[in-house]
Every structure is written in C-alpha cells, then in structure tokens.
Structure 1
Amino acid sequence: MRVSDLTDHTGYWLRMVSNAVSQDFARKVDAEGVTVAEWCFLRALFDADGIAPTLLADRMGMTRGAISKLADRMVAKGLVARMESGGRGQTLALTATGRAKVPILAAMADANDAAYFDALPDADRAALDRILRNLAERRGLTATPLS
C-alpha cells in the first residue's frame, strides 16, 4: 500500500502559502504595534459608527469573551473607545487614532497580498479567489481568520 507524501495534498501547498503570507503580514503589522487579530478587529469597526460587542462577535464569528479581550487591548492602546449606549449596553468605536491607523494597515495588507499574488496572471488570481471563496462557502466557514 502506498502512503501518500505530504506534498501530495492540496492542503499542504495551501498551508505553505498561507503560512508565509500570514507570517509576513504579522511581522509588518507588528511594526505598527498591532497583531493580526487586532487589525481584523479594527477593520471590522472601521465601517461601523459604534457597534455592540455582541453584534461584532457575531460578524467576526468570535465569542463575546474573545471580543471583550480584544477590546480591552485596543482600549489600552488608545485605538478603540467603549461608550455607554443607554441602559446596560455599550458600543465599541474607533478613536481618531484608531481610525487613522486602519488605512495604513489596509495598505500594508494590500501590499502583502500583491507581493504574493501579483505574480499570477489576472485570470489565475481571479480563479484562485473564486475557488477559495467557493470552498469556504461550501464548508460554512464564516469566522474571521485571526492568525
């Protein structure tokens, strides 16, 4: 019986590329004082003008506890503010510093993506995006990848 080699698996190649893309990006955002998870959190808040932590948790596919821990870190860094929203509820919103940081981090994400995927012809890149989105949808993968 033949035992498959590691390199026989599509997942092997996907992890190899994904790990390299993710690790390079993590090093870049670290220079800006944030983690990849914090970048995802900031980007999720960027389009909202204050959002309840529970709604943010649902949108990102995270637990409320994980959102609370991320929020604590971002508040301590001066990038996010907690505001009372009447009654017992609260909302999270970017501070001016946090709002200014998001376009910088987004440009870094764009450049990181380009460094890896601009080598592909446009049709191949579009096909790769389509295939990966299709696989994610078929598997019901909705949680924001944080690492």
Structure 2
Amino acid sequence: MHGELQELGRAVKQAQYRQHRALDSALSAIGTTLAQWDALRAISRSPGASARELAEATFQTGQAFGTLVGRLAAQGLVERRPGHGRRIEHHLTPAGEQVLTVGHKVADEVLAACFSSLSDADRATLLDLLQRLTAGRDT
C-alpha cells in the first residue's frame, strides 16, 4: 500500500512541477514570474488584504511575500497603503492590472496544453478529487 501512495504523491508533485516550470517559462516572456503573477492574482482577488493574508493565499511565508511585494511595488505593479492600525493594505496599480490580464491569457494557454491529454470529463473528475482532498484543510 505505501508504494502506491508514494507513487500517487510523486505523480501529483511531478504534475505540479511540470505545470509550474511551463508557467514560469511562459510568464517570463511577458516580464514576470509565476510567483509575481500569483501575488498579483491574490491581490486582485482580495484588494486591501494584508501581507499575512496574501502570504497564506500564495502559500508563502510572510517574509518571502514581503520581499516579493516589495519588488512588485518597486516595479509599479502594486501599491501599499496604510490601513487600520499598523495594517498595510495591498492594491494593484493599473500597470499591475495589465500584467495580470496578460498573465491570465498566458496561463490559460499553458494550462490548456498541460491538461490537453485529459478529456473535459477527466479534468472535471480530477478537479473534484483534488477539491475533496483539500477541502477544509489549511495546507
């Protein structure tokens, strides 16, 4: 049994690794990285969110996200604004919105290729299984 479970775990990791490599490569052609684009996506989904909230949403440590958002702010893609108390809120700039939009198109093309060997029904089943596997879990 443990061999089958380990094989399953490795297959999931390998699929994720290939997807991330393909996305990072394609996104680099538009001047961004997967980590940066993912941060822009998270900020777009939750405008005004704190760095802690965004770090969780992007599966990063607070320190790693802070470094990343600092780079995005220096590039003029993200704006940090004072919030309630010591809270710093994050918002996309128009340039950040533009990178995000182009990134969505790139990601759609890459992901279509990544999942092209699966039928629509297989993709729906895979999504359902993965959602069931991760439902209600923080990690």
Q: TM-score range by the shorter chain?
A: 0.7 to 0.9
Deviations 1:71-119 (A, max 9, x none): 1111111111112235533211111100111111111111111102133
Q: Does residue 1:11 correspond to 2:9, yes or no?
A: yes
Deviations 1:28-63 (A, max 9, x none): 111222221111110011133322223323444443
1: CA distance, partners of 2:117 / 2:138 = 27
Distance 1:123-1:87 versus aligned 2 partners, 3 A rule? closer
Residue type matched to 1:133 in 2? Q
Residue type matched to 2:99 in 1? K
**Equivalent position SS for 2:30:** coil
Larger Rg: 1
Paired residues in the alignment total 136
Residue type matched to 2:83 in 1? S
Deviation of 1:20 (Å): 1.6
1:132 corresponds in structure 2 to 130
1:102 corresponds in structure 2 to 100
1: CA distance, partners of 2:56 / 2:8 = 30
**Aligned residue runs from structure 1 range 82-101, under 5 A:** 82-85=80-83, 87-101=85-99
**TM superposition score normalised by structure 2:** 0.82
The runs of 5 or more residues in structure 2 that have no matched partner are none
**Equivalent position SS for 2:135:** helix
**Equivalent position SS for 1:9:** helix
* Larger RCO, structure (CA 8 Å, separation 6 or more): 1
1:25 corresponds in structure 2 to 23
The match for 2:42 among 30, 39, 44 is 44
Distance 1:15-1:51 versus aligned 2 partners, 3 A rule? closer
- What is the percentage of aligned positions where both structures have the same residue? 30
1: CA distance, partners of 2:10 / 2:53 = 35
The runs of 5 or more residues in structure 1 that have no matched partner are 143-147
Distance 1:13-1:60 versus aligned 2 partners, 3 A rule? closer
